[in-house]
Structure 1
Amino acid sequence: MKKIAVIGYGVIGKRVADAIHLQNDMKLTGVCDVISDWRIQNAVRKEYNIYAATEDAADKMKAEGISVKGNIQELLKKVDLVVDCTPKNIAAQNIKMYKEIGIKFIVQGGEKHETTGHSFSAENNYKSAIKLNATRVVSCNTTSILRTLTALKRANLLDYARGTLLRRATDPWESHLGGIMNTMVPEKDIPSHQGPDAQSVDPDLDVITTAVKVPETLSHMHYWNVKLKKQVTKEEVLNVFKTTSRIKLIRYDQGLVSNNTIKEMFLDMGRPWGDMYEVALWEDMLKVVGDELFYAYVVDNQAIVIPETIDAIRALTGIEMDGAKSIAKTNESLGIH
Structure 2
Amino acid sequence: MLDPRANPELIGHEDAAAALERAARADRLHHAWLIAGPEGVGKATLAYRFARFLLAGRPDATPLLHVPAESSVFRRIAAAAHADLLTIEAGTLQGDRKRSDVINVDAARLIPGFFALTAAEGGWRVVVVDGAELMNPAAANAILKVLEEPPPRAVLLLVSSTPGRLLPTIRSRTRRLDLHPLPDATLHPIIAEWLPGMAEAERHALARLSGGSLGRALQLAESGGPAVHAMVEDALQAPTPVRVMQIADRLAADRNGASFGLFFTLLRRGLAEASADAARGTTAPGWVSARPLADWAGLWDRLGRLAEETERLNLDRKQAVLTGLSWLRPDSA
Structures share a fold, TM > 0.5? Answer: no
TM-score by length of 1: 0.24
